[in-house]
Amino acid sequence: ELKVEQNPLFLSMQEGKNYTIYCNYSTTSDRLYWYRQDPGKSLESLFVLLSNGAVKQEGRLMASLDTKARLSTLHITAAVHDLSATYFCAVESSGGGADGLTFGKGTHLIIQP
């Protein structure tokens, strides 16, 4: 059974600081996803990571993937209040075709001025 663990689950940080969210998964996977969810809203795709060593950046967010360690990180640089949200990583089982996602419990991020 594929398991996905995120840490921390809660994070309160000040604007301007840097921090990293970690996502570990238990079995081989073809694809790893990062999503953002604002309260009462849907899930917004941030990154899709396909291969070992993949690194993607969008604004103050950067995601990386180490398939050998089964670890992905989401790094926040110089945080701003607008980044306050819940961040989920999700993993798709190997197989090549479309598959359902297994989600981590999410990291609830609060960025204080």
Partner 1 sequence: DAGVIQSPRHEVTEMGQEVTLRCKPISGHNSLFWYRQTMMRGLELLIYFNNNVPIDDSGMPEDRFSAKMPNASFSTLKIQPSEPRDSAVYFCASSPDPGQARYSNQPQHFGDGTRLSIL
Site residues for partner 1 per CB under 8 A:
30-31, 33, 35, 41-45, 48, 50, 88, 90, 96-106
3 state DSSP class of 31: strand
> Cα separation of 40 and 64, whole Å?
28
Q: Residue 23 Cβ, how far from partner 1 at the closest point, in Å?
A: 14
Q: Which is nearer to partner 1, 6 or 111 (CB)?
A: 6
Q: Residue 20 Cβ, how far from partner 1 at the closest point, in Å?
A: 21
DSSP 66-107: ETTTTEEEEEE-S--GGG-EEEEEEEEESSSS---EEE---E
Q: Which is nearer to partner 1, 17 or 41 (CB)?
A: 41
Q: Which is nearer to partner 1, 44 or 66 (CB)?
A: 44
Phi/psi for 88 (5° steps) reads -115, 140
Q: Residue 24 Cβ, how far from partner 1 at the closest point, in Å?
A: 16
Q: Residue 42 Cβ, how far from partner 1 at the closest point, in Å?
A: 5
Q: Check if the beta carbon of residue 91 is closer than 8 Å to that of residue 28.
A: no
